[in-house]
């Protein structure tokens, strides 16, 4: 299917599905409005087989630090975690604010080879945003489609390492994993208004750079059990 109607931009929705599965992300373009982003999110959801998505505007005014690297919705269990999410740009920050994507497969393979004691590590994740929610994930997950891949969120008070490797303390564990993730940097996405960055949450880890000024993104989580704001017709 070829989708038209987003200015001069055209894309093949089959390519979008392949790109996001194989490469882990794809950037599309639309107008920088809630309505245009919702329309594109619906088309993409239809093509990728999603049943619904939830849309939230994430608006900020300056941030002096990184948003820590994470797998989206990691406080949900493996079967409920969003497979795909997208960020649509309403307003890009004047300075900084890039979203970085890291290849969780590359990080997992590197860790498994160089620090095999992390293979048994599990981390329990809770969330201030969703009190009561918690899920325990193996740090290195054997995904039926993608093989060894990282499920991860950097050190936070809502993380609990279930079994710290005896040879390393918790701080060293996080330092080691953070470094492996940074070494798997795949994309530094500098935003343009109207960008729609679709991300494979089963393979990619993401983070956000510090920034100055105002910045607004629409976050669409597909098949999110907590937000099914928009149902996608079949």
> Three-state SS across 189-217?
ECCCCCEEEEEECCCEEEEECCEEEEEEE
Q: Which position among 42, 48, 92, 99 is part of the footprint of ligand AKG (CB under 6 A)?
A: 99
Q: Which of 199, 161, 197, 201 is nearest to 80 (CA)?
A: 201
Please enumerate in sequence order all residues whose Cβ is within 8 A of that of 203, keeping only pairs 6 or more positions apart, or say none.
24, 103, 104, 105, 143, 146, 149
Cα 161 to chain centroid, rounded: 21
Nearest to 24 by CA among 228, 209, 212, 200: 200
Locate 214 and state its tokens: 């105002």
Count of residues that bind ligand AKG according to CB under 6 A: 9
* Complex with ligand AKG: residue 133 or 148, whichever CB lies closer: 133
Distance CA 187, CA 27 (A): 11
Which of residues 24 and 165 has its CB atom nearest to Fe ion in the complex? 24
DSSP letter at 185?
Answer: E
Answer with the entry of Fe ion, ligand AKG, none that 208 interacts with (C-beta below 5 to 8 A by kind): ligand AKG
- Looking at 25, 40, 53, 72, which residue binds ligand AKG (CB under 6 A)? 72
What is the pattern of x (binds ligand AKG, CB under 6 A) and - over residues 14-53? Answer: ----------------------------------------
Query: Which CB, 97 or 165, lies closer to Fe ion?
Result: 97
Return the number of the residue (115 or 204) whose C-beta is nearest Fe ion. 204
- Interface residue with ligand AKG among 103, 208, 216, 220 (CB under 6 A) is 208
Which positions from 27 through 86 interact with Fe ion, judged by CB under 5 A?
72
Query: Does residue number 19 form part of the binding site for Fe ion (CB under 5 A)?
Result: no
* Nearer of residues 6 and 85 to ligand AKG, judged by Cβ: 85
> How near is the Cβ of 14 to ligand AKG at its closest, in Å?
27
The span from the CA of 146 to the CA of 92, in Å, is 32
**How many angstroms separate the CA atoms of 144 and 213, rounded?**
42
Least distance from C-beta 154 to Fe ion, angstroms? 12
Q: How many CB atoms lie within 10 A of CB 128?
A: 9
Which candidate, 92, 99, 86, places its Cα nearest to that of 60?
92
195 near ligand AKG, judged by CB under 6 A: no
Residues that bind Fe ion (CB under 5 A): 72
Residues that bind ligand AKG (CB under 6 A): 58, 67, 72, 87, 99, 206, 208, 217, 219
């Amino acid at each position: 299917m070829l989708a038209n109607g987003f200015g001069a931009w055209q894309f093949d929705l089959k390519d979008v599905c392949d790109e996001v599965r194989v490469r882990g992300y794809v950037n599309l373009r639309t107008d920088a409005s809630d309505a245009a982003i919702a329309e594109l999110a619906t088309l993409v959801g239809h093509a990728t087989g999603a049943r619904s998505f939830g849309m939230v505007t994430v608006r900020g005014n300056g941030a002096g630090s990184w948003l820590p690297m994470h797998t989206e919705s990691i406080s949900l269990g493996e079967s409920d975690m969003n497979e795909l999410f997208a960020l649509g740009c309403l307003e890009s920050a004047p300075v900084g604010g890039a979203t970085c994507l890291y290849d969780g497969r590359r990080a997992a393979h590197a860790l498994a080879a160089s620090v095999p004691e992390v293979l048994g590590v599990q981390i329990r994740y809770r969330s201030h945003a969703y009190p009561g929610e918690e899920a325990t994930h193996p740090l290195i997950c054997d995904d039926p489609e993608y093989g060894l891949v990282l499920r991860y969120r950097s050190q936070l008070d809502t993380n609990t390492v279930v079994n710290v490797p005896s040879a390393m303390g918790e701080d060293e564990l996080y330092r080691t994993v953070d470094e492996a993730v940074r070494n798997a940097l795949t994309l530094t996405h500098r935003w343009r208004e109207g960008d729609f960055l679709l991300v494979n949450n089963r393979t990619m880890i993401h983070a956000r750079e510090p920034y100055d000024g105002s910045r607004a993104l629409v976050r669409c989580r597909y098949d999110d059990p907590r937000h099914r704001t928009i149902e996608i017709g079949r």
